[in-house]
Chain A
Amino acid sequence: MKIHLHITNGDVAADALKRSNIRGDVLPWRDPMADGPFPAGLDLGATSKIRADYLSGPTLAHDQVLRDFHLRDVHLAAAAHYEGVTLWFEHDLLDQLQILQVLDWFADAEIRPTQLGIICVDAFPGIQPFRGLGQLDPAQIATLIDKRVPVTRAHLELAQAGWAAFRSPDPREIETYLRHDLHVFPFMKAALLRHLQEFPSVSNGLGRTDQQILQLISDGIGRPGRVFAANMDLETNLFLGDWSFFQHIHSLCNVRQPLLHCDPNGEFRSPLELALPAAELLQQRLSLTDHGRRVLAGAVDVTAYLDFDYWLGGVHFVNGNPMFRWNAAASKLELTQ
């Protein structure tokens, strides 16, 4: 088949590519990978099943999510039919993780003579701040083709090592990975460091996003949409999309001993939730509970109030188990009991 396959991070960039003068098929790698489980040792199909379980809910039906993962995975498996495959990604954590997952798959795939290439950028002339490829129109995104470089054995080996480290139940493997020469992935170190900052802190057990959320609300920002926008401004690179962000608010608010209270009903309802009347959305105001104030002040560890049961990559956080925590001052992980 004398045609090219382009793999990119999501629908907005995929649409721009489809409407550009870049010829070929386009495959969006649709998965907010900074959140949720990626257990070690599973192949792509088994991982997709777990991701579908995690991502489906009231707004996204499980069969729809699972179907789209399956369709994505079988399209990737058709890579050898193409004369070339190009990965189009940006510098943030989501994209760096997608690069690791996709190249990990290619490392074991027999696709010769298909040529594999990658485009990965952290800037575009005239766009400030540059958050990602989704900001580019079809003419702009097409110009990036000049930045395509061939994927080498070094890319594939480092992607395999990085993907294994990200999925390991022992996140110290990520710290070890970060000591490699990663110059072929110029944005990987900063991205994975941001991932580690999401681990519970040694000071109060909050990950960086939850710490920022509590701080912003303590500073007087109460409307969920405004908290989302203000939190984005605290990030150097794009970090969480709206779905993931509101999951964080939900886990701080709609629990047995909440750190957040949401007026007028006490419980937070995500703006993405179906059938949420606009009036109710606009009425919602977030504030700290006494628990939230104590945790934010560092007087109490968050594990005193919240039942941990969540995943970051290959690490499963559960109350009562030894836990890896992030020491921001030392910029390293610590294993705590």
Chain B
Amino acid sequence: MKLAPALNPVFHQTLRTRIAALLNVRAYSFSELKSALGVTDGNLDAHLRKLSSAGYLHSRMVLTERPKTIYDLSPSGKRAFADYLVALKTIIKTASAKRRLTGR
């Protein structure tokens, strides 16, 4: 039987999956992320730190009316998140195939 692929633990956490899904599309400021996800500062801080400690986060300071930092996935983060999505899809496909096989 084919083993299910390992899931990257950095992304395999509810909030970090959602953060990565957002940052995979475009850059977000901290307040934009906080409002999109409905989380506290401390919670978001901790999960951004986890992403950065894997090298998955890029940041850029932009000089708007008030200087702010925006975040997106780094190239290694984008690659790792793409791998994570492939692994998830494989697991889902495998699980669905087993279900069809057993008819349950």
Contact = CB atoms under 8 A, between A and B. Distances in A.
A118 interface: no
Interface string A47-74: 0000000000001100110011011101
A1 B48 CA distance: 20
Contacts of B52: 71-72, 74-75, 78
Given A59-B67, A64-B68, A274-B66, A71 B75 contact: no
Interface stretch (A11-19, A119-127, A181-189, A212-220): A11-19
A3 B59 contact: no
Given A26-B58, A30-B61, A75-B53, A3 B69 contact: no
B20 to A, nearest CB: 15
B48 A71 contact: yes
B65 A274 contact: yes
B89 to A, nearest CB: 22
Given A64-B30, A68-B69, A74-B49, A28 B54 contact: no
B19 interface: no
Given A1-B76, A59-B67, A11 B55 contact: no
A25 interface: yes
B41 interface: yes
- Interface SS of chain B: helix, strand, loop or mixed? mixed
A75 B51 CA distance: 9
Interface residues of A, number: 29
Contacts of B58: 18, 25-26
B19 to A, nearest CB: 13
B57 A82 contact: no
A294 interface: no
Contacts of B67: 59-60
Interface in A71-86: 71-72, 74-75, 77-78, 81-82
Contacts of B41: 63
A68 B74 CA distance: 15
B15 to A, nearest CB: 16
A171 B69 CA distance: 35
A207 interface: no
B74 to A, nearest CB: 4
A75 B68 CA distance: 19
Contacts of A78: 52-55
B59 A25 contact: no
10 contacts: A3-B55, A15-B60, A24-B75, A28-B61, A59-B67, A64-B68, A67-B48, A68-B59, A68-B69, A71-B48
List 3 A-B pairs, minimum CB-CB distance, nearest first. A74-B53, A25-B74, A78-B55
